[in-house]
Amino acid sequence: MKQLKIVITGGPGTGKSSVIDRLATLKFTCMPEISRTVTRAAQKEGIEQLFLNEPLLFSQKLLEGRIRQYREAEQSGSEKVFFDRGIPDIHGYMDYSGTAYPGVFKSRSREFRYNFVFMMPPWREIYQTDNERYETFEQSLLIYDHLRACYSDMDYKVIVVPEGNIDQRVDFILNEL
């Protein structure tokens, strides 16, 4: 059995995690977003926004965590595994922020490939900020553009998920598979 690895990505606040949560309730194997976990751990150490203060350290922690998730997915035996963001998101965000980074980020993106990439575009009506999501809606638009370019540069066919309620978006993704 060939396992399908499916990324749900896009700018912040676009509904990715809500779609992942719904897929999990439908009994699909899902790998949650880990940037909030990394951010919260840094906040406990007194660093409010690790991505802003030490972007390379933050990105290295994400890379390690996403590779760990990828390997866990391979061991899961599941036919389909959904990821809330993929490895290329890391250098997409660093491109957005203008952070220089070593080639290991792109080489790992080439090594750990996904079968499908679904991109959730910015959607003003559902966008919200919180303790870990500090970007404005306008920044979300820019991040989306960088992520889309990043995945295209890595030779992925990016499938844009249309606006709609969670079930409509999940149905769209499942029908595309």
Sign, CA torsion 90/95/121/39:
positive
Of all residues in the chain, what percent carry a pLDDT higher than 70? 86
Residue 68 confidence (pLDDT): 93
What range does the domain containing 124 cover? 4-176
Of all residues in the chain, what percent carry a pLDDT higher than 90? 62
* Mean pLDDT across the chain: 87
Using pLDDT thresholds of 50, 70 and 90, give the confidence band for residue 171.
Answer: very high
Using pLDDT thresholds of 50, 70 and 90, give the confidence band for residue 15.
Answer: confident
CATH number at residue 170: 3.40.50.300
Q: CA–CA separation, 30 vs 25, rounded Å?
A: 10
Give percent helix, percent strand, percent coil of the chain, each to the nearest 5: 55, 15, 35
Residues 6+ apart with CB under 8 A from 45: none
As for how many domains the chain has, the answer is 1
SS3 label, residue 8: strand
